[in-house]
Structure 1
Amino acid sequence: MLTILQIFQVLLNVVWWIIVVQAILSWLIAFNIINTHTDIVRTVWTALQRMTEPLYRPIRRILPDFGALDLSPMVVLLIVYILSNIVIPNLAASYITSGY
C-alpha cells in the first residue's frame, strides 16, 4: 500500500511540473518571446495541451468564464497540492498505525 502511495506521489509531482512548464510556455508564447511557428515549440506545446486538457476540462465547466484569464491550471495545482501534502501523508500514516 505504501508503494502505491509513493507511486501516486511521484505521478502528482510529474503533473505539477507539466502544468508549471505549460504555464511558463504559454507566457512565453503570449509575450511573443517564442512562437509556435517553430516545429519543436509547436510539438512541445501540443503535447503539453494534450496532457493537461483532460485535467482542465472538468474544472472549466464549473468555473465561470473570466474571458482571457484561465484559472483552471491554478485550481488543478491546488488540488494536486492538497492530494500531495495532505491526503497522501494522512493515508500513509493511517496505514502505518493500523499495523499493516
Structure 2
Amino acid sequence: MTSLLQILLMILQLAQFVIIIHIIMSWLINFQVLNLRQPLVYQIWNGLERLLAPIYDRIRSVLPNLGGLDLAPLIALLAIYALRIVIINNFAAF
C-alpha cells in the first residue's frame, strides 16, 4: 500500500512540475525571451497546451471572467496541493 501512495504522490508531483513549467514558459513567451517561431519552443509549448487545456478549460468554466488575468494554473496547483494533503493525512485509514 505504501508503494501505491508513493506512485500517486509522484504523479501529483509530476503534474505540479508540468504546470509550473507551463507558467514559467508563458512568462518567458510574453516577455519575448522565448520565440514561438523556433520549432523546439513551439513543440514544447504546443504539447504543454494540449496536455493542460482540458484541466484549465474545466477550471475556466467555473471562474468568472477576469479579463487578461488567468487564474486557472493557480487553482490547478492549489487543487493538487490540497489533494496531496488529503491523501497524506488519510493514508493511515487504509
Please classify the TM superposition score into its range, dividing by the shorter chain length.
over 0.9
Aligned-residue identity in percent: 39
User: Which residue number corresponds to residue 93 of structure 2?
Assistant: 94
- Tell me the TM-score normalized by structure 2: 0.94
Q: Which whole-Å CA distance do the structure 2 matches of 1:2 and 1:61 have between them?
A: 36
Q: Which whole-Å CA distance do the structure 2 matches of 1:2 and 1:91 have between them?
A: 12
Number of equivalenced pairs? 94
When the two chains are superposed, the root-mean-square deviation of aligned CA atoms in Å is 1.0
Max Rg structure: 1
Aligned positions of 1:17-36 closer than 5 A: 17-36=17-36
Q: Secondary structure at the match of 1:77?
A: helix
If asked which structure has higher relative contact order (CA below 8 Å, sep 6+), I would say: 1
- Tell me the TM-score normalized by structure 1: 0.88
Q: Secondary structure at the match of 1:29?
A: helix
